[in-house]
Structure 1
Amino acid sequence: MTDAIKIDVWSDIACPWCYIGKRNLEKGLEQASEDDDAPAVEVEFHSFELSPDTPVDFEGGEAEYLSRHKGISPEQATEMLDRVSGVAADAGLAYRFDLLKHTNTVKAHELLHFAKDHGRQNELAERLMSAYFTEGRHLGRDDELVLLAADVGLDADAAREALQSGRYLPAVRADQAQATAYGINGVPFFVIDGKYGVSGAQPAEAFAQIVRQVWDERREPAEV
């Protein structure tokens, strides 16, 4: 039995392209899963903060944040958001930037590490991104994060303790240090099988192609 292909994903729950990339990856893996010799794949998410200096309670909407952060006009920011909303819609995601509450994401990353220890990381990543981009939930607050953890079957009291203790912060920092070592300066970024780097929200077909390629390489007999 060939070991599963490992896909390490560096992302931020506040990154609109990361949610699109996640969905496209899932669709690509679904395509590959229909093969006669379907690849076995394991996905793990890693922490990357796009804007670690963002306050928990940012005053203003997403267009205003983008305008300040990138030094562009509000009109340009709105155009950028409209464009990404269109790409998200193509991926089956209904972004609501009018509801979005921009916030610091370090606590969300800590919670994702807690979820990984309890075998629910992928489910929580989906729940957090959906809550942030489509429901207007405030992901910088412990109470909101605990509710979302409970939504995917995690123990609410344990989730709250994990957040309040800060015991997963070193794991967040370790992910960020690994990203720096890999030279990752933007997300989403996918490391396939520890040797192929894929940057950006690639189409589903691209993800299907690369996992098939890696799986074929795994099945080739070693040269003598």
Structure 2
Amino acid sequence: MKIEIWSDVACPWCYIGKRRFETALAAFPHRAAVEVQWRSFQLDPSLPEHYDGTELDYLSTRKGMAPAQVAGMFEHVAAQASGEGLNYRFDDVVVANSFTAHRLIHLAAAHGKQSAAKERLLSDHFEHGRDIGSRDYLTSLGLDLGINASEVDELFSSDKYADDVRQDFAEARALGVSGVPFFVIDRKFGLSGAQPAETFTAALEQAWQESHPLVMVDAGADGPDSGACGPVGCAV
């Protein structure tokens, strides 16, 4: 069973949704047969490489939201994150374009480190105030993941993996994805948003049942020797 997750590393609900999904997956009996693939999405592709201001400034000026409204939203989201064991620090968030970070995730996928890269980027962005658009930071992260520095350097000297990121964007549009996180199971089931773990559990179970239907053997054997009981009694 394959699960594709469209998300942005600059999306606070995406990290919360990741944790809730992981909670459900950890308890799923068939988790060993589940493949998870992270797909790229950008909430604001027009964001400059680096934004000269805080997260509150960015949302209030570029999104037209009142500062008090943004502050209240931060409190609500931080409380939700805390419930999943995450420590959001919106005052320390560095606002930056996430495109190169998404390219790094694709590079990490080529080394079997996609999930680790996604986790670090989200944590470093929302919990540790790291600059996800910084060459120094992305190079350091790549090294931490066991990727050669020269391969990370290619992200800044070429357009490597840029087409892969754009292809993720295009597939999201084709599927009708307009917000993230967005979870797609076997290209049959879609879940939008940071749903409760129980919702993810129900979706996993339904998708598994559809892809692994129960096959009856000798279903037509219902005579006196069938050895079965039913609403009208038992075979004798």
Q: Does TM, normalized by the shorter one, top 0.5?
A: yes
CA RMSD, aligned part only? 1.7
**What residue is the counterpart of 1:93 in the other structure?**
86
Query: In the alignment, does 2:61 pair up with 1:61?
Result: no
The alignment-based identity, stated in percent, is: 45
CA distance in 2 between counterparts of 1:172 and 1:180 reads: 13
Separation in 2, partners of 1:181, 1:127: 29
Give, as a single letter, the amino acid of the residue that structure 2 aligns with 1:26: E
1 CA distance for matches of 2:49 and 2:13? 21
User: C-alpha displacement at 1:164, in angstroms?
Assistant: 2.4
2:116 paired with 1:120: no
Moved runs in structure 1, 4+ residues, more than 6 A?
A: none
Pair 1:208 & 2:201 matched: yes
Q: Which has the larger radius of gyration?
A: 2
Partner AA of 2:17 in structure 1 = G
Cα deviations across residues 166-222 of structure 1 (Å, max 9, x unaligned)? 111000111001111111111000101110010000111211221122112222146
Equivalent residue letter for 2:57: E
- SS for the counterpart of 1:94 is coil
The answer on whether the counterparts of 1:112 and 1:125 sit within 8 Å (CA) in structure 2 is yes
Who is 1:75 aligned against? 68
Structure 1: which amino acid aligns with 2:211? R
Note if contact 2:20-2:195 (Cα within 8 Å) is conserved in structure 1: yes
The residue matched to 2:38 in structure 1 has which SS?
Answer: strand
Which whole-Å CA distance do the structure 2 matches of 1:51 and 1:154 have between them? 28
- How far 1:55 moved relative to its partner? 1.3
- The size of the alignment, in residue pairs, is 217
CA gap of 1:41–1:64, structure 2 versus 1, over 3 A, is same
Does the 8 Å contact 2:25/2:31 carry over to 1? no
1:117-156 aligned within 5 A: 117-156=110-149
Q: CA deviation at 1:59?
A: 1.4
Q: Distance in 1 between matches of 2:105 and 2:44?
A: 18
Amino acid at match of 1:54: L
Partner of 2:180: 187
- Secondary structure at 1:98 match in 2: helix
Match of 1:22 in 2: 18
Q: Distance in 2 between matches of 1:174 and 1:38?
A: 27
Q: CA deviation at 1:113?
A: 0.8
SS in 2 for 1:184: coil
Check 1:210–1:138 CA distance in 2 against 1; reply closer, same or farther (3 A cut): same
Which residue among 157, 163, 170 is the counterpart of 1:170? Answer: 163
- With normalisation by structure 2, the TM-score equals 0.87
Aligned AA for 2:81? A
* Structure 2: segments with no counterpart, 5+ residues: 220-236
Which ranges in structure 1 are unaligned for 5 or more consecutive residues? none
SS of structure 1 residue aligned to 2:92: coil
Supply the distance in 1 between the matched residues of 2:184 and 2:25 (Cα, whole angstroms). Answer: 15
- Contact residue 111 and residue 163 of structure 1 kept, 8 A: no
